[in-house]
Amino acid sequence: MTAFIDDTLKKARSHSRAEQMELIAALQKMLMPENSRLVFPGVFETPNIAGGRPCLGATRIPVFRVVKFLLDGVSEAEILEIFSSLTMIDIGVAQRYYQGREQELEAAILEEE
């Protein structure tokens, strides 16, 4: 199994960032509960997890929480310290997910405050 993972990672490095994101999303989907729904590459909604709000990957971290930190000027490095299970890729996913969904995520932020 380790050889398969190593080979897959080596091949993934030669692909575009978008293709890498698709691979990560596919792998995360395999790890997620059956009732999870992929709503964006790397973002899932699962009933009874984070109130059904979109979360990053196989975590229980809602996208809006990461976006709130970014909007508040918290650095990416600090966010990675706060959420140790996240990666820079997850932060990038949160930023791309936010684009075009500003009102939805900002409403979620206001509900939490």
CATH number for the domain spanning 51: value is 1.10.10.10
pTM, entire model: 0.74
Domain count, the chain: 1
pLDDT score recorded for residue 57 = 84
> Is the pLDDT confidence value at 32 over 80?
no
pLDDT score recorded for residue 33 = 74
Backbone φ/ψ region at 95: left (φ over 0), alpha (ψ -120 to 50), beta: alpha
* Residue 43 binned pLDDT confidence (cut-offs 50, 70, 90): very high
Degrees, nearest 5: CA angle 57-93-58: 5
> Is the pLDDT confidence value at 108 over 80?
yes
pLDDT score recorded for residue 1 = 55
Provide the domain limits for residue 26.
Answer: 2-112
Question: Hey, how many other C-beta atoms are within 10 angstroms of the C-beta on 1?
Answer: 5
* pLDDT > 70: percent of the chain: 99
Please state, in angstroms and rounded to a whole number, the distance separating the CA atoms of residues 95 and 113.
20
Average pLDDT on 57-76 reads: 94
Average pLDDT on 52-73 reads: 94
